[in-house]
Amino acid sequence: MIANILHCVTRDLIMSGLNQSHPRLNVSTRLPPLSALRAFEAAARLLSFKEAAAELHVSPAAVSHQIHALEDYLGVRLFDRHNRGLNLTDIARAGLPEIGAAFQSLRAGVERMRSKGSGLSLMVSAGPAFAAKWLLPRLQRFTRAHPAIDVRIAASMHAVDGRNAQAQSEAEGIDDNRSDTDVEVRFGTGAYPGYRVDKLLTVNLLPVCHPKLLAGEHPLRSPFDLQHHTLLHDDTLDALDGTPDWNAWLREAGVTGVNAGRGARFTHGALVLQAAADGLGVALVMDVLAADDIAAGRLAAPFDLKLPLPGAYYVVSPVARAELPHVAAFREWLLREARTADTPATQEDPVPA
């Protein structure tokens, strides 16, 4: 069936591009090389030969060679190349959805065969702070309820939307092969074509600190007391497009005389939460990531004012794999955990299977 899909898509690409201008080609003949189609699918999805090469574990030159070979085979141009990157031609854009779906089906089929032979394996991707502060503390509830599923967690800023977040991930040299991911917990807009998307958690920003800062020489009783304390900054918030910061929070609180740019900075949300728990200052953080520490008394939220974020956390799975039993089980577990957000992450009772 997959071969038939790829064959039909390839035939349609040829016909739409040629329109009888190349009668020497027989569109009913064999498929082009699968490696060339795979290179096209990755490069078209990522709009980058470099990122496609990283995903396929080959060189960018090899991807470029495969694309040229496919273009020669089809007799059409698939990409418009320019200094700032790649654009798909209309012909390539028309064929990509079906070719992408075919490769997703291939991956799902391979995963089914792999799971039959060696037990079920589930690849989960999430942002580093979400993985450390929300997902991992709850994960044993899932593994106890589903002992036959081996969960693999990949923490990467690729699970966060926005140009700035992607730039940070690339600067850190993170190689994220999302083609193998069954479930992603993404922070962003929720617009992910080709994926099943379920909203998991809405998010606000709030200040948190060690409980000892609520007392002492300069107790935190009103936002104006922040002038006596060190502000802690999460650089990953700066990486999110359109996300408010300390300047925005202080402005909303009506506070003047506090330099919002001063203080210690951290490259990941889990680090700034730990710094606040260690008493280094007051951090502006996502409320869902701080909730367990607040419930356990490791952190305190001195003020009621919260700033809503434009994005949210979503559970995302490729359509071709979204309804596989082990993928669906993990998604439903995540959604139950989010609905019972007040339940301590350390609770011992497993969720229902």
Q: How far apart are CA 335 and CA 101, in angstroms?
A: 26
* Encoded tokens for 122: 């589930």
CB 294 within 8 A of CB 209: no
Which residue do the tokens 């229902």 mark?
352
If we measure between CA atoms, which residue out of 162, 180, 164, 182 comes closest to residue 172? 164
Q: How far apart are CA 162 and CA 2, in angstroms?
A: 34
Confidence category of residue 26, pLDDT binned at 50, 70, 90? very low
Residue 6 one-letter amino acid: L
Given CATH 1.10.10.10, say whether it is the number of domain 2-111.
yes
- CA 290 to chain CA centroid, Å, is 20
Q: How far apart are CA 333 and CA 173, in angstroms?
A: 31
Can you give the pLDDT at residue 117?
A: 52
Can you give the pLDDT at residue 50?
A: 87
- Average of per-residue pLDDT across 65-89: 88
The percentage of residues in the chain with a pLDDT greater than 90, rounded to a whole number, is 48
Which residue do the tokens 């799902």 mark?
108
For the chain, the structural domain boundaries read 2-111, 118-200+311-339, 202-310
**Residue 154 or 101, more confident:** 154
Q: Do domains 2-111 and 202-310 have the same CATH topology?
A: no
Q: What is the pLDDT of residues 262-300, one digit of tens each?
A: 999 998 889 999 999 999 999 999 999 999 999 999 999
Q: How far apart are CA 260 and CA 316, in angstroms?
A: 35
**Phi, psi at 24, each rounded to 5°:** -70, -20
Whole-number average pLDDT of the chain:
82
Q: What is the pLDDT of residues 1-12, one digit of tens each?
A: 444 545 554 554
Q: How far apart are CA 308 and CA 201, in angstroms?
A: 12
**The CATH number of 202-310 is which of 2.40.30.60, 3.40.630.30, 3.40.190.10, 3.30.70.20?**
3.40.190.10
Could you give the angle at the alpha carbon of 43 between the alpha carbons of 41 and 48, nearest 5°? 165
Q: In terms of C-beta density within 10 A (0-12 exposed, 13-18 middle, 19 or more buried), how is residue 265 classed?
A: middle
pTM (whole model) above 0.85? no
**Phi, psi at 161, each rounded to 5°:** -70, 160
For the cut 80, the answer to whether the pLDDT of residue 28 exceeds it is no
Can you give the pLDDT at residue 239?
A: 66
Can you give the pLDDT at residue 20?
A: 38
**Phi, psi at 202, each rounded to 5°:** -85, 155
Can you give the pLDDT at residue 4?
A: 53
Confidence category of residue 107, pLDDT binned at 50, 70, 90? confident
Euclidean distance between the first and the last CA atom of the chain, given in angstroms as a whole number: 33
Q: How far apart are CA 318 and CA 306, in angstroms?
A: 33
Q: How far apart are CA 5 and CA 11, in angstroms?
A: 10
CB 338 within 8 A of CB 130: no
CATH number for the domain formed by residue range(s) 118-200+311-339 = 3.40.190.10
